[in-house]
Amino acid sequence: MTRDTGTKAEGKQDKKAQQYGVTPQSVDFNDWYNEVVKKADLADNSPVAGTMVVKPYGTALWENIQRWLDDRFKATGHESLIFPTLIPMNFITKEADHVEGFAPELFTVDRIGTEELAEPYVLRPTSETIIGYMWSQWLGSYRDLPFLHYQWGSVFRAELRTKAFLRTSEFYWHEGHTAHASEEEARGEVRQILDLYHEFCRDILALPVVRGEKTASERFAGAVATYSIEGMMRDGKALQSGTSHYLGQNFSRAFDVKFQTREQREEYAYTTSWAISSRIIGAIIMTHGDDFGLIMPPRIAPIQVVVIPVGRKENFDQMVEEGEKLAAELRAQGIRVKVDKREGVTNGFKYNDWELKGVPVRIEIGPRDLEQGVVVVKNRNAEEKETLPREEAISGMVARLDGIHDWLLNRATDFLLSHTVSVDSYEDLKNAIEHGNWVRAFHCGNAECEALIKEDTKATTRNIPLDDAEFFSEREEGVCVKCGQPSAYGKRVIFGRQY
Amino acid sequence: MTRDTGTKAEGKQDKKAQQYGVTPQSVDFNDWYNEVVKKADLADNSPVAGTMVVKPYGTALWENIQRWLDDRFKATGHESLIFPTLIPMNFITKEADHVEGFAPELFTVDRIGTEELAEPYVLRPTSETIIGYMWSQWLGSYRDLPFLHYQWGSVFRAELRTKAFLRTSEFYWHEGHTAHASEEEARGEVRQILDLYHEFCRDILALPVVRGEKTASERFAGAVATYSIEGMMRDGKALQSGTSHYLGQNFSRAFDVKFQTREQREEYAYTTSWAISSRIIGAIIMTHGDDFGLIMPPRIAPIQVVVIPVGRKENFDQMVEEGEKLAAELRAQGIRVKVDKREGVTNGFKYNDWELKGVPVRIEIGPRDLEQGVVVVKNRNAEEKETLPREEAISGMVARLDGIHDWLLNRATDFLLSHTVSVDSYEDLKNAIEHGNWVRAFHCGNAECEALIKEDTKATTRNIPLDDAEFFSEREEGVCVKCGQPSAYGKRVIFGRQY
What digits encode the pLDDT tens for the residues A29-69? 999 999 999 999 999 999 998 999 999 999 999 999 999 99
d(C-alpha A35, C-alpha B285), whole Å: 49
Q: Which residues contact B176 (CB under 8 A, 6 or more apart)?
A: B73, B78, B149, B150, B193, B272, B273, B274, B275
User: What pLDDT score does A327 carry?
Assistant: 98
Cis peptide upstream of residue B146 (ω within 30 degrees of 0): yes
Helices A279-288, A29-39: crossing angle, 10 deg rounding: 110
A-B contacts (CB, under 8 Å): 148
Establish if B47 touches chain A: CB-CB under 8 angstroms: yes
Query: In Å, what is the CA distance from A457 to each residue of A121, A435, A461, B355?
Result: 39, 11, 11, 64
The CATH label, of 1.25.40.10, 3.40.50.800, 3.40.50.300, 3.30.460.10, for the domain at A305-406 is: 3.40.50.800
Cβ atoms of residues A366 and A350 within 8 Å: no
- Restricting to A residues 58-117, those with a Cβ less than 8 Å away from any Cβ of B are 58-60, 62-63, 79-88, 91, 103-114
Strands B170-180 and B270-277: antiparallel
List CB contacts (< 8 A) between B133 and chain A: 47
Which residue of A37, A44, A70, A82 to mutate against B (max B Cβ within 10 Å)? A82
**A398 at B interface, C-beta within 8 A:** no
Model confidence over B150-203: pLDDT tens digits? 999 999 999 988 999 999 999 999 999 999 999 999 999 999 999 999 999 999
CATH architecture of the domain B305-405 equals 3-Layer(aba) Sandwich (3.40)
Of A328-337, A370-379, B467-476, the least confident: B467-476
Q: How confident is the model at residue A319 (pLDDT cuts 50, 70, 90)?
A: very high
A219 pLDDT band (50/70/90 cuts)?
very high
A203 Cβ neighbours under 8 A, 6+ residues apart: A299
The arithmetic mean of pLDDT across residues A378-392, rounded, is: 96
Kindly indicate the confidence band of residue A20, based on its pLDDT and cuts at 50, 70 and 90.
low
Neighbouring-strand partners of residue B278: none
Cβ-nearest to A104 among B60, B113, B137: B113
Binary contact (A86, B79; C-beta < 8 A): no
- Using a CB-CB distance cutoff of 8 angstroms, which residues of chain B are in contact with residue A86? 48, 51, 107, 170
Q: Is B130 within 8 Å of chain A by CB?
A: yes
CB contact under 8 A, B107 and A87: no
Q: Where are the beta strands (DSSP E) in B63-164?
A: 79-80, 86-88, 107-112, 115-123, 147-156
Q: What's the mean pLDDT in B64-90?
A: 97
The CA distance from A131 to A175, in Å, is: 11
pLDDT, tens only, A98-132: 777 788 899 999 999 889 999 999 999 999 999 99
**CATH number at A52-288:** 3.30.930.10
pLDDT of res. B21: 85
Provide the pLDDT for residue B7.
46
Nearest to A186 by CA among A137, A257, A244, A134: A244
Q: Do B158 and A48 touch (CB under 8 A)?
A: no
Is the pLDDT confidence value at B426 over 80?
yes
**Going along A1-90, which residue ranges are E strands?**
43-45, 52-54, 79-80, 86-88
Q: Do B103 and A113 touch (CB under 8 A)?
A: yes
Chain A contacts of B51, Cβ < 8 Å?
A: 84, 86
Nearest CA distance, A147 vs chain B (angstrom) = 11
> A417: pLDDT confidence band, cut at 50, 70 and 90?
very high
pLDDT tens-digit readout, B318-360:
999 999 999 999 999 999 999 999 988 999 999 999 999 999 9
Q: Nearest-CA residue of chain A relative to B60?
A: A80
Provide the pLDDT for residue B19: 55
Contacts of A65 in chain B (CB under 8 A): none
Residue B148 at interface with chain A, using a CB cutoff of 8 Å: no
ipTM of this model? 0.93
Give B-chain residues touching A153 at CB under 8 angstroms.
Answer: 154
pLDDT bracket for residue B18 (50, 70, 90): low
Percent of chain A at pLDDT > 70 equals 96
Taking only residues 334 to 393 of chain A, the set having a beta carbon closer than 8 angstroms to any beta carbon of chain B reads 344
Q: What kind of fold does domain B420-496 have according to CATH?
A: Translation Initiation Factor IF3 (3.30.110)
- C-alpha distances in angstroms, A449 versus A193, A238, B174, B208? 31, 20, 50, 69
Report the share of chain A in percent with pLDDT over 90: 89
Residues in B closer than 8 angstroms to A170, CB to CB, are 84-86
Identify whether the C-beta of residue A412 lies closer than 8 Å to the C-beta of residue A288: yes
pLDDT of residue A19: 55
- B contact test, residue of A92, A108, A135, A174 with most B CBs within 10 A: A108
Is residue B249 less than 8 Å (CB to CB) from chain A? no
Whether the link from the prior residue into A360 is cis, omega within 30° of 0, is no
Q: Between chains, do A82 and B63 touch, taking CB under 8 Å as contact?
A: no
**Record: contact A47-B130, CB cut-off 8 A:** yes
Could B81 and A51 be called an inter-chain contact, meaning their C-beta atoms sit closer than 8 Å? Answer: no
Number of helices (H), then strands (E), belonging to chain B: the values are 16, 24
Percent of chain B surpassing pLDDT 70: 96
pLDDT for the residue numbered A267:
98
**What residues in A contact B113, CB-CB < 8 Å?**
103-106, 108, 158
**Which of B58, B88, B154 lies nearest to residue A85, judging by beta carbons?**
B154
Query: Which chain B residue shows the shortest CA-CA distance from A112?
Result: B107
What pLDDT, on a 0 to 100 scale, did the predictor assign at position A3? 42
Domain boundaries, chain A: 52-288, 305-406, 419-496
Q: Which secondary-structure segment (H or E) carries A177?
A: strand A170-180
The SS3 of residue A281 is helix
Query: Under CATH, which number does the domain A419-496 receive?
Result: 3.30.110.30
Is A181 in contact with A261 (CB distance < 8 Å)? yes
CA distance A461 to chain B (A): 28
Q: Using CA atoms, how far apart are residues A130 and A82, in angstroms rounded to an integer? A: 11
Chain A interface includes B134 (CB < 8 A): yes
Residue B10 above 60 pLDDT? no
Kindly calculate the radius of gyration of chain A based on its CA atoms and give it in whole angstroms: 25
Closest Cα partner for A228 from A195, A258, A189, A253? A195
CA distance A359 to A377: 12
Q: Give the pLDDT confidence score for residue A266 in this predicted structure.
A: 97
Helix extents (H) in A55-158: 56-75, 89-92, 96-102, 128-138
Disruptive mutation site among A51, A92, A112 for chain B (greatest number of B CBs within 10 Å): A112
Phi-psi region of B57 (alpha: psi -120 to 50; beta: other; left: phi over 0): alpha
Q: What is the largest CA-CA distance in chain A?
A: 83
Q: Search chain A and give the residue with CA nearest B52.
A: A84
- State how far the alpha carbon of B81 is from the alpha carbons of A164, A168, A257, B71, in Å: 14, 16, 38, 15
Nearest chain A alpha carbon to B105: A113
Q: Which residues of B fall within a CB distance of 8 Å from A82?
A: 53-54, 58-59, 62, 172
Contact B385, B377 (CB under 8 A): yes
Q: Are A190 and A272 in contact (CB under 8 A)?
A: yes
